[in-house]
Chain A
Amino acid sequence: MASILGPRTSTTAPVPPTTPGPDRRRARPVRPWATPLAYALLTVLAALLLVPFAWMVSSSLKTNAQVFTVPIQWIPRELHWENFTEIWSRVPLLTYLRNTTFLAVVITFLQVFTGSFAAYGFSKIRFPGRDGLFLAYIATIAVPWQAYMIPQYILMQKAGLVNTFTALILLQAFSAFGVFLMRQYYMSVPDELVEAARIDGLSEYGIYRRVMLPLSVPALASLALLTFVNTWNDFMGPFIYLTSNDLWTVQIGLRQFIGQYDAEYALIMTGSVISVVPILVVFLLGQRYFIQGIATSGMKG
């Protein structure tokens, strides 16, 4: 209803020259209540969406007894910041954060490198069997991971890799999604550009490094961010493969803490806040690339 607002009206302006009379009446309805109404609606929506976060942050600054009070105190009367110092001594959170960061960085690097490298082969070098191979990649994206997790597990078990970081790195660094996303982008780079570089005497590896990589920084950033966030948040991988406490990631550590101290409501919320904040920061910094990556993955080609 309120879609004809502000800047939009300026784009409508040039349209009406056909029939000036009745159209002027239509072009005019810059209803004064439309903008405030839109904002009011959006605010209600945002509030509904963000209530769980508000509750999480608010509870993380309370004592256990204050978490469930009737009526709810959205802003605690006194702020218990000591929760944020106490949690470090209750759980080896630092180890968990270090493990998670290590996994996320290594997996992201490998995924971005092997993904973009393979995408170059799939998009800019012509050879028999290429498209069939790519089809095999795409097909597996649609297969639910749960359908083949048992053979994967058997493989890892036979290789003695269960309960190592190597297992998780191997499982997550070579996903078909990265190849797919990068290929989408490389397909939009004109072949003439690559052809010109070939004539200039650059080898294929040179073209990849000096032409494609610099051109595809936005796509690389998208893939890197998506992979980093996914790895950081991953629950099932570490849940299945990591059994010793000193290898756990933040997610597994938090989950374990909840199981052990299920009445420590405030500290549980403190731990949740600490586990969420790094990813929020990463997301806010790279939001544009993140969103772009998702929008691209939605366009089939």
Chain B
Amino acid sequence: MAAPAPPVARPAPPSATTYSNRSQVRRNTLLGWSFILPNFAGFALLTLVPVVATFGIAFTKWNAYSTPEFTGLDNFTRLVQDGNFRVALFNTVYYTVGHVPLTMAASLLLALALNRKLRGVAFFRTAAFFPYITSIVAVAVVWNMLYNPTQGPINQFLLTLGLEDPPGWTSDPSWAMPAVILTGVWKDMGYYMILFLAGLQTIPPELHEAAKVDGANAFQRFRNVTLPCLRPTTFFVLIMLTIGSFKVFDLIVVMTDGGPGRSTLVLSQLIYREGIVNGRFGYSSAVALALFLLVLAVTVAQYTRNKRLES
């Protein structure tokens, strides 16, 4: 490559500013922007502007047929008193608290089980990944039938196990959320398994060998070698899963549509109903802002906790 070329051809990075005169900088800026612009134009208009706009609209009274009118914190005082909001907030947290640890455990177990050089292991990895690439509508319709309280295979199985009164799953307000969480775990674990597998493969085998020589058993090796080495992956998965769980939307819409009653109504759904169905742009943006701040707060908390654990 260009390696033999002496320093003339390859200015060290810091000197980039010193050797390049103003016209060079301008030329590079124009060139750089010419590459970025096709994507940036779409991105700025459809992502950046809306993100910023949410903050403004949340403080207005604005319906589909009116002009926006600044109302200060009115939307937020209404939010606190809104029963639907409180139920949706509770359900969103409920889903997250169930979905995050279960998916993490399941995907890590899958990754550990499949992180070996067995003949045919690729087949099992593919199988574990199938649910993730299956469309949410197909997933919902199959699981809703599996969950059928009287004739579904799941309850038939539970009956043969001797369970007298199996749960009503998606038709029972107190079981609907666990049912949705379970389906969510099944669908998502293949994705996070891939991330864990990638992480596991960065652990040098020598560490395990050394621990084995020192007489550590499989569980001790998992606790003292695998888990610490996997820390960056675990943290990344945790963040992704948390954000993903807080914004759960399509799974709920197609499986239960928030029901029975309001037992699975979540924040994203409330934003959709208020904003797009009812055309209450201002109020729904306030709900959206609340969701955003919630996600931000939890992410920052996890981030600082991770920083503290690292040091």
Contacts and interface: CB of A to CB of B under 8 A. Distances in A.
A and B co-occur in one complex = yes
Interface of A: 1-3, 5-8, 11-12, 15, 23, 26, 35, 38-39, 41-42, 45-46, 49-53, 55-56, 59, 67-72, 113-115, 117-118, 120-122, 125-130, 133, 136-137, 140, 142-155, 170-171, 173-176, 178-179, 190, 192-193, 195-196, 199, 204, 208, 229, 232-233, 235-236, 239-240, 250-251, 254-255, 258, 265, 268-269, 272, 275-276, 279-280, 283-284, 287, 291, 294-295, 298-300
B36 A121 contact: yes
A6 B118 CA distance: 7
B130 A49 contact: yes
Nearest to A226: B133
Given A7-B117, A72-B156, A276 B36 contact: no
A268 to B, nearest CB: 6
B135 A279 contact: yes
A204 B127 CA distance: 43
Interface stretch (B78-86, B93-101, B163-171, B246-254): B246-254
B2 A149 contact: no
A255 B137 contact: yes
Contact of A39 (B9, B118, B127, B208): B118
Given A235-B253, A254-B138, A268-B141, A45 B124 contact: yes
A272 B141 CA distance: 8
Contact of B124 (A42, A154, A192): A42
Contacts of B33: 121, 127
Interface in B239-290: 243, 246-247, 249-250, 253-254, 267-268, 271-272, 275-276, 281, 284-285, 288-289
Given A3-B116, A49-B127, A125-B31, 4 more contacts: A8-B116, A121-B31, A174-B42, A192-B1
Contact of B35 (A49, A120, A171, A269): A120
The CB with the most chain A CB atoms within 10 A, among B28, B39, B141, is that of B39
B309 interface: no
B137 to A, nearest CB: 5
Interface in B126-179: 126-131, 133-139, 141-143, 145-146, 148, 151-153, 156
Mostly, the A contact residues are helix
A148 B50 contact: yes
B281 A46 contact: no
B43 interface: yes
A69 B148 CA distance: 12
B32 A121 contact: yes
Contact of A193 (B1, B148, B288): B1
A147 B292 contact: yes
Contacts of A152: 46, 50
B275 A149 contact: yes
Contact of A136 (B48, B124, B126): B48
B133 A254 contact: no
A115 B40 CA distance: 9
B138 A56 contact: yes
A3 B48 CA distance: 48
Nearest to A74: B153
A6 B117 contact: yes
Contacts of A147: 51, 54, 247, 271, 288-289, 291-292, 295
A247 to B, nearest CB: 17
Given A140-B47, A294-B191, A233 B136 contact: yes
B1 A52 contact: no
Given A125-B31, A128-B25, A151-B54, A146 B156 contact: no
B268 A146 contact: yes
A137 B295 CA distance: 18
A5 B118 contact: yes
18 contacts: A5-B116, A35-B118, A52-B146, A68-B151, A72-B153, A115-B39, A143-B292, A146-B249, A146-B272, A147-B292, A150-B54, A154-B57, A192-B10, A195-B9, A235-B250, A251-B137, A276-B135, A298-B199
B251 to A, nearest CB: 9
Contacts of B118: 5-6, 35, 38-39, 42
Interface string B188-226: 000100110111000001101100110000100000000
The CB with the most chain B CB atoms within 10 A, among A3, A5, A23, A136, is that of A3
Nearest to B206: A15
Contact of A41 (B16, B39, B113): B113
A149 B272 contact: yes
Given A150-B281, A190-B1, A235 B137 contact: yes
A283 B194 CA distance: 15
Nearest to A295: B198
A113 B42 CA distance: 13
